[in-house]
Amino acid sequence: DSGVTQTPKHLITATGQRVTLRCSPRSGDLSVYWYQQSLDQGLQFLIQYYNGEERAKGNILERFSAQQFPDLHSELNLSSLELGDSALYFCASSAPGLGPNTGELFFGEGSRLTVL
Amino acid sequence: AQSVTQLDSHVSVSEGTPVLLRCNYSSSYSPSLFWYVQHPNKGLQLLLKYTSAATLVKGINGFEAEFKKSETSFHLTKPSAHMSDAAEYFCVVSAGYSGGGADGLTFGKGTHLIIQP
């Protein structure tokens, strides 16, 4: 158990809908990262937050948005969903003072989104 | 710019035989390199990391990897495969500077390790 909690584990929805994925980082970790994993694209970095502030942005679509709250949990909002958004969405966190390039990322078990 | 290439999408070995998962990288900086493992329906877990210390790195579960700058490689090995090693393995390269954002990390496409009984 990594200590990173993601909900829901599975989500099935229809095209055009909006969903929210939630992540609680490990106790004491200030950074949260969101990744999308699909069969054709592999693991893609979406966005990173540090203590409530956006820190780095990857291949995140304009239809997607995220935020990190004062209690450090984070939410990833996906709107106007398309079939191609079906994927496994991972959240990760890292220890204070250790960026992802030198430290370890702790991953949750992911939220599997299916868009029908 | 940096990139990482995992040379095999699938590797199949018999239980008890050696494992070799190959990874080549390119980086404009002195890189940090990582191997992560993903078991079915689980998140990724760090196996080992190289951050400019010893070139032979030992990780969890008997895995190790050797950083070879001249060959730009960071292959993952294990002397004897176990059924529980069946998983997806990801090689990751970073720009290697502390405090860098996650946009500085590049994941390989993964190697699926199959263990035959």
For A49-74, what is each residue's pLDDT tens digit? 999 999 989 889 999 999 999 999 99
Q: Around Cβ B92, how many Cβ atoms within 10 Å?
A: 25
d(Cα B117, Cα B115) in Å, to the nearest integer?
A: 6
Mean pLDDT of A77-97: 93
Q: Do B51 and A100 touch (CB under 8 A)?
A: no
What is the pairing mode between strands B32-38 and B44-50? antiparallel
For B31-49, what is each residue's pLDDT tens digit? 889 999 999 988 999 999 9
Rg (CA), chain A: 13
Q: Do A43 and B45 touch (CB under 8 A)?
A: no
For A31-47, what is each residue's pLDDT tens digit? 999 999 998 888 899 99
Indicate if the pLDDT at residue A99 is higher than 80. no
Closest CA to A72 of A91, A89, A90: A91
- A51-to-A13, A67, A93, B102 alpha-carbon distances in Å: 31, 10, 11, 15
Across the A/B interface, how many CB contacts are shorter than 8 Å? Answer: 73
| Cis status of the peptide bond prior to A70, with omega within 30 of 0 | no
Closest CA to A23 of A115, A99, A107, A112: A107
Closest CA to A105 of A16, A29, A41: A29
Min distance A18 CA to chain B CA atoms (Å): 24
Indicate if the pLDDT at residue A83 is higher than 70. yes
For B20-31, what is each residue's pLDDT tens digit? 999 999 987 778
Min distance A101 CA to chain B CA atoms (Å): 5
Indicate if the pLDDT at residue A3 is higher than 90. yes
Q: Is the distance from CB of B50 to CB of B33 less than 8 angstroms?
A: yes
- Mean pLDDT over the full length of chain A: 93
**Token pair for residue A72?**
């450090």
Indicate if the pLDDT at residue A111 is higher than 80. yes
Rg (CA), chain B: 14
CA A47 to mean position of chain CA atoms = 8
Percent of chain A scoring above 90 in pLDDT: 78
Q: Do A90 and B105 touch (CB under 8 A)?
A: no
For residue B53, the model assigns a pLDDT of: 75
